[in-house]
Structure 1
C-alpha cells in the first residue's frame, strides 16, 4: 500500500529523536511505498536532508511555513461570505472548533488567496466585532497582527495540493494533523495519528515561557494549538501514543477511546546489548544524548553538572547530539565558559553505539518528553539513567504494572538543578549499584521495547485500515 507520512519540523531535516525513529520506521517496512509530506519552518532548508532516503520513499512534498509570508494579495480579489462561512471564520479566529469542511472548501475548491482574505473587508468586519467583545483593552493593531500571524500559516496550508495515497499517517497533531485532515477531506481516504509527545501540551509549555507572545494573547495561542489537535483527533481512524498516561490525555482532549491504541517505542536491542562496560579509570563519565534545543533544557544540565563538580572532582560530562537551535546552542557554550567548567565536552553528532563504551551512565534533563529513545538505548547498553520526571520516564526507570525487573536509575523534578545534581552524585558513588540498575534496564528493554514488536503493531493497524479486517 502507499502511505503518506506527514511530518512537522523533524525528518528528514534533523538528526535524533523522532527523525531517527522515522528513518528506522520506513526502513523496517520495505513492503510499503511511502510518500513524505513534510512541513518545515524555512524554505532555505528545501532539499537539505540529513538522511539518505530509503528506496521505498517514492516522493517528497515539502511545505515551508515562511512561504506563507511570500503570498501577495490580489488587487481584484473579492470575497462574499455566506452566513455559515462567517460563523466558521469567527470560530476559527476565536479558536472555537470551526467547521473545517467549510474551510477546506474555501481554500481547495474555491481557491481563496489567504493574503487577500486576511486584508479583506469581510475578515476585518469579523475581527473588529470580536475585538470589541474579547479584547476591548488591547490595541487593534496588536490584535490584528497576532490573529494574522496565527491564521496565515493555517490558511496557506489549506490551499496545498494533496499527494495521492491510500493512508495518511501524521506523526503529530498541529499543522501536520491539519494536513492529514485536509487529505482525508480531499481524497476520502483514512488517516492515522501517532503522537510521540502530546503536541498541544508541549506548545502550551513553550507559549507560557515565550517572550515573543504578547501576554494578552498567550491564552489564545494555547487555544489555537488545542483547536488544531481537536481537528485530527476527531477524524483519525486510529490514534496511537507511546504509554498509558499519554493515552488518557488524548482521550481528555477529545480522542475517541475506541480508536486509541498504545504502541510503546522499540529499539534495535541487538545494536546495544553487547557494549562492554567502561573500565574503572577513577573517573565517572556521564553522557547526555540530546539535541541542543530548549525543550531538552541543556542549561539546567550544565548548571546541575556544575553543582556536581562541587561535590566531587572525578566526573566528566559528554553532550552528544546535533544543534536544533543555533542561538540556544551558543548560549549553552557561553554558559560553560562563564562558569569555567572544565569537565564538559560537546561531542556533536557521533556514533552513539561506539561512544557508549566511554560512558558509565546517561542523563536526560528534558522539560517535556514522550518515551525517549535515548533512555531505552542506554538501558539496552546496561547503563542506568538519571532523568527528569516527564513523559513516561518514571515508568521506564521504575517499571510499569507487571514489570518486576527493578529500578534502573534515579528521577528528579524538571528544571531542578539541585535535585539533578544530587541524583547524579548518588549514581556516581556506587559502581556496583550502577551496574545492577543498568542490568535491570537492560532486561526491561529486552522484554518490552524491541523494534520488531513495535513495527508489527503499526503494520497491523495499516492492514486493519486498508483491508478492513482486524488481524
Structure 2
C-alpha cells in the first residue's frame, strides 16, 4: 500500500516528538511504502543534507512543498456563478462541506496565485467579506490580510501530487488541508493524527504575536480553526493521543464516530532504578530530553537550577537536545547560564543518543509551557527514571496515572513557569532518595501496562488496512 504522510514543519528536517513518531511509524511498518509530503516555510534548508533522520528503506521519497509563494506568469480565473458562491463561503470560513476544495487546485477554474489574487473576482470577494464582517479597519489592510491567509493555501493545492492509496496527516492546518484536498479530488481515504490541538496552538501563537494587528488576530485564529474543521470533515478517522484532546476535538466540530485515542508508545529499557545518597562528591544527576526552543521554556529550568545552587543542593544538569532550531534562544539560554554563574552545573550536550545517557540520570525535567503527550516523558519512564514536569498536555496523566491509575506517582507535577516549584520538587528527591527508585518503578510499570510501542504499531497497522480497504470496496 502506498501511504503519504503529510507533515508540517517537521520530518525529516526538524527533530522532535512528531518527527520521531513519523520515523517510528515508517520503520516499524516495513510492509507499507511511505512518501513524505513535507510542508516547510521556504525552500532553504530542505535538501537531503538538512535531513535530521535517515529515511528507512520503505521510505520511498520526501517531497517538499514550501509555503513561500513565488511570482509566476498570471493565469486569471474563469469562475462560474456557483464557483463564486463556493469561494465566498470558503473565504468567510463557512464552507464546512469543502465545496471549494474541488477546484482550488485547478488553475483552469480559479487561476494561479499570481493571477487570482490580482483578479477582479478576488477584489469583489474581498469587498463582500469586508462588508459582511463590518470591521472598523482600512480596506487595504483587510485586503492584504485576506490575501496573506489564503495565498499559501492556493499555492499548496496547485502543486503536483502523486497518486496514493492512503493519506495520513500528522496535524490539521496546512497538512490537514492538503490531506482533505487530495481525499476529495482523488478519492483517497484520510487519517488525521493530532499530537496537540493544532488550531489552539496557533491561537496561542497569534495572541502573543506582534506582527498581526490586534484587529485581525481573531480573523487569523478563526482561519486556523476553519482549516481544522475541513480536515475533521473529510477524514475517515481522527486520532488523538489522549482523551482530554479528543473532547476538545469534538467541541471544535469533530464527529465522535470518527474519533480514536491511540497514545504514543516506547520500547521498554533495562532500568537501573537509582537510589543513593547525594553529596558534593556525588551530586544528583538531572537531565532534560528537549529541543532548546522557547515553547520548552528552558529559561525556567535554568532559574530552577540557580535556586538549587543558592540552597546548596549538589546537582549536575545535562540538557540533551538539538541546538540548531532557534539559535537566538540558545544564545539567550547560554547567556543566562553564564550570568547566573552556572557553567559548572549546567551543560548543553546537543543532540546525542539519549538512551545511553539515561543510565546516568537520577531525575528528568520537563518545563514546557505547551505539550501534547511528550515522548520524552515516556522514554524516561521506560528507563525507570522519574520526572519533574509542568502540568501541560497529557503530562499529568503520564506522571500520576490519572483517574485509572494502578501504580502510583512517577514524579512530581508543577505549574508552568514556576522555577521555585521545580527546585522544591528536586529537593524532595535529594532529601528522600528512596523516592527516586519508587517513582521510577511506578513509571516503568505504567509504560509497561499502557504505552508499549508494539501495541501502538499494531493499532496503526490494523487501521491502515481497515481504512485502506474503504477505497478498494468503493472501486
CA distance in 1, matches of 2:180, 2:410: 41
Q: Structure 2 vs 1, CA of residues 318 and 135 (structure 1 numbering), >3 Å: closer, same or farther?
A: farther
Of 412, 415, 418 in structure 1, the residue corresponding to residue 417 of structure 2 is 415
Aligned residue for 1:411, secondary structure, equals strand
What's the offset of the Cα at 1:432?
A: 0.7
Alignment of 1:178-327 (within 5 A): 178-269=177-268, 272-275=269-272, 277=274, 281-323=281-323, 324-327=325-328
Of 49, 52, 77 in structure 2, the residue corresponding to residue 50 of structure 1 is 52
Q: Structure 2 vs 1, CA of residues 117 and 319 (structure 1 numbering), >3 Å: closer, same or farther?
A: same
Aligned residue for 1:61, secondary structure, equals strand
**Is residue 169–residue 192 contact of structure 2 (8 Å, CA) maintained in 1?**
yes
Q: Which residue of 1 aligns with 2:353?
A: 351
Alignment of 1:49-448 (within 5 A): 49-66=51-68, 68=69, 70-72=70-72, 74=74, 77-97=75-95, 100-108=98-106, 110=108, 112-134=111-133, 136-269=135-268, 272-275=269-272, 277=274, 281-323=281-323, 324-342=325-343, 343-448=345-450
Q: Structure 2 vs 1, CA of residues 428 and 210 (structure 1 numbering), >3 Å: closer, same or farther?
A: farther
Q: How many residues align?
A: 463
CA distance in 2, matches of 1:340, 1:97: 56
Deviations 1:116-174 (A, max 9, x none): 21122221232234334536432333323322221111111111222211110111000
**Is residue 275–residue 353 contact of structure 1 (8 Å, CA) maintained in 2?**
no
Alignment root-mean-square deviation, CA: 2.0
CA distance in 2, matches of 1:304, 1:94: 47
**Is residue 274–residue 436 contact of structure 2 (8 Å, CA) maintained in 1?**
no
What's the offset of the Cα at 1:405?
A: 0.5
Q: Structure 2 vs 1, CA of residues 106 and 265 (structure 1 numbering), >3 Å: closer, same or farther?
A: closer
**Is residue 322–residue 351 contact of structure 2 (8 Å, CA) maintained in 1?**
yes
Q: Structure 2 vs 1, CA of residues 305 and 143 (structure 1 numbering), >3 Å: closer, same or farther?
A: farther
Deviations 1:165-206 (A, max 9, x none): 111011100000011011112211111011111111111111
CA distance in 1, matches of 2:84, 2:97: 11
Q: Structure 2 vs 1, CA of residues 433 and 162 (structure 1 numbering), >3 Å: closer, same or farther?
A: same
**Is residue 275–residue 433 contact of structure 2 (8 Å, CA) maintained in 1?**
no
What's the offset of the Cα at 1:80?
A: 4.8
Q: Which moved more, 1:333-342 or 1:202-211?
A: 333-342
Q: Structure 2 vs 1, CA of residues 84 and 414 (structure 1 numbering), >3 Å: closer, same or farther?
A: farther
What's the offset of the Cα at 1:101?
A: 3.1
With the length of structure 2 as denominator, give the TM-score of the two structures: 0.92
Q: Which residue of 2 aligns with 1:26?
A: 26
**Is residue 6–residue 170 contact of structure 1 (8 Å, CA) maintained in 2?**
yes
Q: Which residue of 2 aligns with 1:467?
A: 469
Q: Which residue of 1 aligns with 2:12?
A: 12
What's the offset of the Cα at 1:257?
A: 0.8
Aligned residue for 2:260, secondary structure, equals strand
CA distance in 2, matches of 1:113, 1:51: 34
**Is residue 88–residue 99 contact of structure 1 (8 Å, CA) maintained in 2?**
no
Q: Structure 2 vs 1, CA of residues 452 and 333 (structure 1 numbering), >3 Å: closer, same or farther?
A: same
CA distance in 2, matches of 1:413, 1:22: 30
CA distance in 2, matches of 1:306, 1:3: 48
**Is residue 157–residue 179 contact of structure 1 (8 Å, CA) maintained in 2?**
yes
Deviations 1:400-419 (A, max 9, x none): 34331001111111222333
**Is residue 95–residue 220 contact of structure 1 (8 Å, CA) maintained in 2?**
no
Deviations 1:82-115 (A, max 9, x none): 3433333333333333653324314226262112
| Structure 1: stretches of 5+ with no match in the other structure | none
Deviations 1:27-53 (A, max 9, x none): 100111111111111201222211111
Deviations 1:204-233 (A, max 9, x none): 111111222211111111111111100110
